[in-house]
Amino acid sequence: MRVAIIDLGTNTCRLFLADVAGGIVRQDARVTTVVRLGQGVDDTGRLHPDAVVRTRACLSDYEARVRAYRPERRLLIATSVLRDAADGRTFLAGVERDFALPWRVLAGEEEGALAFRGGTSWLARPTPSGPVREEGWRADGSPPPGPLLLVDIGGGSTEFAVGAAGQPPDSVQSLDVGVVRLTERFFHADPPTRDEVEALADHVAAAVEEAVPADLRDAVRAAVGVAGTYTTLVATKLGMTEYDASRVQGHVLSLGDIETAVSRFAAMTSAERGRLPGIQPGREDVILAGALIAREALRAFGLDAVIVSEADLLEGAALALVEGSLTPS
C-alpha cells in the first residue's frame, strides 16, 4: 500500500512517501525542510506569523508531491509545537481545508512509541553483514540482551522509549527538552557562555532523572538514536559535504564523539557552525543543544555509545497507518 506521511515538528517538516507490504516499509522519497514552526512558541504559547507562512509554503510544495504520488492513504502527524500552541488546531484546520491533508496531533507517548517501532524495526531483522560493531552487540548485528533505549531528539520535546526491538515499547517518557525550546530558553549569547551551556545540560539531566525511574535506567543495555540531531552529529563527525544516508545508518557515536562535538560547537558562533560540513541550514543554532541532550541521555542511562538509525517516527507511522491503528484526529 502506498502511503504519504508528513511529520510537522517544531523545527522541521518532513515528507515521507513509501510502499508498505508485509510489515516492510520501502521508501520512495524522504524530504526534510527546516521551517521552525516552533519559533517563539515556548515563550508566547502561540504560532509566530512568519513561521506559519514558512510552514504553509512548505506544505503547499509537499501537497503537490503527494498528489503526484497518488497514495492510498495520507496523514499529517503533528508533534510538540502543535501540542503546545494555543492556536495549533486552528492552524491544522486551515491546512486540512487548503491542502486536503488529514491530520493527527500525536501525544508525546504515542510519538515515542511510533518512533521506537520505526527506529528499531531494522534491528528486529539483523543480518550478519549488519553495520553494528559496538562492544556488547551480537555478531549478527542484533542488540545485546536486555531492554533497548530509543532516544528521539526533536525541536520541542525528546522521547525516551524502552523495550525490545520490533515490539511495542514497555515504557515511554516524553520530556519538554527539545533543541528549539532549550536554545531559545537558555542561550542568549552567541556563542553561548559557559554558564548557559552548563545550565542547559543540568536542566536536561534533572528532567531525565526525574521522569525515568532509576531501575529502568540501570536496566538498559544499549541505545538507538533517531532524528536530526543524531544524523547531523554523524554527518559532522564524518565531514560529509553531501549527506549520505547509507553512511549514517547504523553508525555508532561514542560518548566521546558526542563530548567532542559539544566542545567544538560550544566554541563557535551559529554562523561558524553553519559552515561546517554536515550542518543542514537551519540547524546551526540548535545543534549544540541537541548534542548536549544526546550527551546527557547517555550519561543518565550509564551508556558509552548510541547507534544511529535513519528509520524513525516516519517508518513507524507508515506501518501504523497501513494497519489502521493510526487515524486522523
User: pLDDT for 86-111, tens place per residue?
Assistant: 999 999 999 999 999 999 999 999 99
Scored b (16 or more CB within 10 A) or e, 12-27 reads: bbbbbbbbbeeeebee
pLDDT tens by residue, 164-204: 987 899 999 999 999 999 999 999 999 999 999 999 999 99
Backbone angles phi, psi at 6, to 5 degrees: -115, 125
Continuous H helices in the chain:
41-44, 49-69, 80-84, 88-99, 108-120, 179-186, 194-211, 214-219, 228-237, 245-248, 255-266, 270-274, 287-301, 313-323
pLDDT of residue 122: 85
Cell numbers 509545537: residue:
81
Give the three cell numbers for residue 319: 506501518
Give the three cell numbers for residue 257: 564523539
What the chain holds in terms of domains, given with CATH numbers, is: 2-108 (3.30.420.40), 126-313 (3.30.420.150)
Calpha distance 173→175 (Å, rounded): 6
| Model confidence at 127: pLDDT above 80 | no
